[in-house]
């Protein structure tokens, strides 16, 4: 056999061995691959959590505005020319601080004239009284007629009345002079002057010239309205004994401003009206809050939370787990067979980022809180437990 023939035979044997090895290996490898795929879990990974049971109370929310407890219009009480403005517009003033001065000279002169009239009336009264007393003595001695005695009595009585009228005119003149100094009746923030120096202002019990306004700031009111349905709910709770009347109890309230995300300001319910507004079907309510730093200003908008129930046990879930389909709220729940199931629920309020569930869930339900965008009803899932819902207190 030649060298070339030997080489060709060796190559042929090698090729046959390779072919036989491939034929034997291929089925074995396919079986291993199928086994590997069969052992891998099938489904979409999702994160689940069970609802947390907690004893809580409800807080009902209302929109409203702050209002000053004392909102005073400062008006002129006597007529005259404005001679002094004694405050800086927008500053805090104390009760009794001088705000305006009206020219006092005409009123000082009027007071002097009234005092002079009073002095004359006092002298006339003293003379008439002395004459009356002498007349009574003479009448008793039959030295003076009874008619003359009665005349002197009438003159004394008239003099006494004139003296009283003169005293009243002095008192009025003193008041008018006092009213030329316009003072702050309450402590609060003053507006600007509505009338400038030198202008003639008109006084009087009604219709006096408006000079400025002063509003108190601390404490301050928060005014809101509640619906008839809310009013009935509160009355039913009172009848059941689970919530006391807002007229008899200062229920706590919490307030947040338009640029705040949490209800961080505390106060109490201080007033509930005695009737519903027939045109709106609502009832007025009012809360009182401390305002030592003057953060709240009358007219400012805010949101208020009012204690809306007694204590009860409720289930809470992360609000991010709640889905919306038109008007229906629902969550995805992992069944015992690790299949996604859509579950309609009835929601309560949102508290500290967690949602209260009124109906539709049980304590042992596994709620899908992450990965819901990849699931549908009946889809196979791979549940992975998240950390329990954080404990919180809604009170």
Cβ neighbours for 68, distance < 8 A, ≥ 6 positions apart: 188, 215, 216, 217, 220, 221, 298
> Which domain, by its residues, includes 85?
75-215
34 assigned to some structural domain: no
Same domain flag for 288 and 175: no
* pLDDT value for 167: 95
132 assigned to some structural domain: yes
21-58 tens-digit pLDDT: 444 444 444 444 444 444 555 778 989 888 888 888 88
Of the candidates 215, 242, 270, which is a domain's last residue?
215
Q: Predicted confidence band at 337 (pLDDT cuts at 50, 70, 90)?
A: confident
Same domain flag for 255 and 319: no
Cβ neighbours for 276, distance < 8 A, ≥ 6 positions apart: 228, 231, 282, 283
* pLDDT value for 41: 55
252 assigned to some structural domain: yes
* pLDDT value for 391: 41
266-325 tens-digit pLDDT: 999 999 999 999 999 999 999 999 999 999 999 999 999 998 888 888 889 888 888 888
Contact 45, 381 (CB under 8 A): yes
Q: Buried (b) or exposed (e) across 3-37, using 16+ Cβ within 10 A? A: eeeeeeeeeeeeeeeeeeeeeeeeeeeeeeeeeee
Check the CA dihedral 191-197-203-206 and report its sign.
negative
* pLDDT value for 313: 85
Same domain flag for 87 and 201: yes
Same domain flag for 203 and 260: no
Radius of gyration of the chain (CA): 46
Same domain flag for 92 and 206: yes
Say what angle helices 146-179 and 105-140 make with each other, to 10 degrees. 160
Same domain flag for 238 and 199: no
Of the candidates 307, 331, 347, which is a domain's last residue?
307
* pLDDT value for 140: 82
15 assigned to some structural domain: no
Most confident of 6-20, 123-137, 273-287: 273-287
Residue 369 dihedral angles phi and psi, to the nearest 5°? -110, -10
35 assigned to some structural domain: no
Rounded CA gap, 70 and 217, in Å?
8
Same domain flag for 88 and 131: yes
Average model confidence (pLDDT) across the chain:
85
Q: What is the SS3 assignment for 106?
A: helix
* pLDDT value for 133: 83
Strand-pair partners of 283:
226
* pLDDT value for 388: 55
Contact 375, 340 (CB under 8 A): yes
184-212 tens-digit pLDDT: 999 999 999 999 999 999 998 788 999 99
152 assigned to some structural domain: yes
Number of domains in the chain: 3
Residues recorded for the chain: 395
CATH number, position 288: 2.40.30.170
Rounded CA gap, 217 and 293, in Å?
9
Same domain flag for 360 and 281: no
Same domain flag for 50 and 180: no
Neighbouring CB atoms inside 10 A of 339's CB total: 15
CATH number, position 117: 2.40.50.100
CATH number, position 344: 2.40.420.20
Q: Predicted confidence band at 375 (pLDDT cuts at 50, 70, 90)?
A: confident
Same domain flag for 90 and 180: yes
């Amino acid at each position: 056999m030649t060298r070339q023939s030997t080489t060709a035979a060796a190559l042929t044997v090698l090729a046959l061995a390779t072919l036989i090895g491939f034929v034997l290996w291929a089925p074995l490898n396919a079986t291993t691959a199928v086994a590997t795929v069969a052992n891998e879990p099938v489904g979409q990974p999702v994160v689940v959590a069970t609802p947390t049971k907690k004893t809580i109370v409800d807080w009902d929310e209302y929109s409203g505005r702050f209002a000053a407890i004392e909102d005073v219009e400062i008006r002129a009480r006597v007529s005259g020319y404005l001679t002094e403005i004694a405050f800086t517009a927008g500053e805090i003033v104390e009760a009794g601080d001088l705000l305006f001065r009206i020219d006092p000279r005409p009123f000082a002169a009027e007071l002097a004239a009234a005092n002079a009239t009073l002095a004359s009336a006092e002298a006339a009264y003293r003379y008439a009284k002395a004459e009356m007393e002498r007349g009574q003595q003479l009448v008793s001695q039959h030295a003076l007629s009874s008619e003359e005695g009665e005349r002197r009595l009438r003159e004394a009585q008239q003099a006494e009345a004139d003296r009283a009228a003169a005293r009243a005119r002095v008192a009025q003149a003193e008041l008018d002079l006092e009213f030329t100094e316009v003072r702050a009746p309450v402590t609060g923030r003053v507006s600007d002057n509505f009338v400038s120096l030198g202008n003639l202002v008109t006084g009087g019990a009604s219709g006096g010239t408006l000079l400025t306004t002063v509003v108190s700031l601390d404490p301050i009111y928060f005014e809101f309205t509640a619906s008839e349905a809310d009013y009935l709910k509160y009355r039913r709770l009172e009848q059941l004994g689970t919530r006391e009347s807002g007229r008899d109890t200062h229920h706590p309230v919490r307030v947040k401003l338009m640029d705040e995300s949490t209800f961080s300001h505390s106060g109490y319910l201080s007033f509930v009206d005695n009737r519903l507004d027939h045109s709106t079907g609502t009832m007025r309510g009012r809360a009182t809050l401390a305002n030592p730093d003057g953060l709240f200003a009358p007219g400012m908008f805010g949101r208020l939370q009012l204690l809306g129930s007694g204590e009860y046990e409720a289930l809470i879930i992360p609000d991010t787990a709640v889905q919306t389909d038109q008007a229906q709220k629902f969550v995805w729940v992992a069944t015992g067979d690790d299949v996604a199931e859509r579950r309609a629920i009835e929601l309560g309020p949102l508290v500290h980022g967690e949602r209260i569930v009124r109906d539709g869930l049980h304590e042992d339900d596994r709620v899908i809180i992450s990965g819901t965008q990849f699931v549908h009803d009946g889809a196979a899932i791979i549940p992975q437990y998240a950390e329990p819902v954080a404990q919180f207190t809604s009170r």
